[in-house]
Amino acid sequence: MQKLMEGKVIIVTGAGSVGEGWGNGKAAAALYAREGGKVLAVDRSIDAARQTQEIIRSEGGVCEVIAADVSKSADVKAIADAAMDHFGRVDVLHNNVGIAETGGPVETSEESWNRLVAVNQTSLFLTHKFVLPIMEKQKKGAIVNISSLAALRWIGFPYLGYTATKAAILAFTKNVAMQYAPVGIRANCVLPGLMDTPMIREPLKASYGGDIEEMRAKRHAQCPMGFMGDAWDVAHASLFLASDNARYITGLDLIVDGGLSLKCT
């Protein structure tokens, strides 16, 4: 049986992990490679990207790495150039980079707001700016942008900058989906709910009283299925949207939350 990503080239931004375990980008990069894809793993930390590369190569997969700050135009152009230099094409752009900081409009500093916009939103603009022309020449491509359930609803505490920038991803993606549908490029969003990944633990523990295990227990209890999802749940949803099995799907917001969005409280 042919693998879903056989022969395809995938750029994964945020492909490292901020701590031990599997972050969303790391899992997505590994899964794409397991399905036959050639991965360009992008991360601000070259060491984090290389850890992902080592896993992929140890499993017989293909992975190149590049260190980049995706909020900077020159760095993102270098990503697109590296993909072309290594592989000669780009079939999938997977935008996973994102940071989380808590606070409402009064508590959030201007520095925090600007940082969230740069990392969560401007990065998306720049990756599309440099990768879409490549896909347009190919007359085919798939884009998967990682947003959040927080883009749609209150999640229990003030989270203004994060929710605003993640909500912007939804509108951004729909615009791209409509503009580029005639030339064979699809763009979709994945919206994770409460997930148990390294990225959420340190930034959010203060909002749960400072105890990580207590935080995990409370978040598990919030989920209708009784447990948080993990990076692999996000990765498998992304794989479907990136694959040719989703060839007639574009502009979709795919919620991956164990039913959390169905609750009134």
Write out the catalytic residue numbers.
162
The strand pair at 62-67 and 92-95 is best described as unpaired
Q: What is the rounded distance in angstroms from the CA atom of residue 235 to the CA atom of residue 114?
A: 28
Residues in the chain: 265
Q: Return the number of other C-beta atoms located less than 10 Å from residue 214's C-beta.
A: 12
Q: Side chain identity at 99, as an amino acid letter?
A: I
Q: What is the rounded distance in angstroms from the CA atom of residue 24 to the CA atom of residue 6?
A: 21
H/E stretch holding 202 reads helix 198-204
Tokens, residue 15: 């492909």
Tokens, residue 180: 């580029």
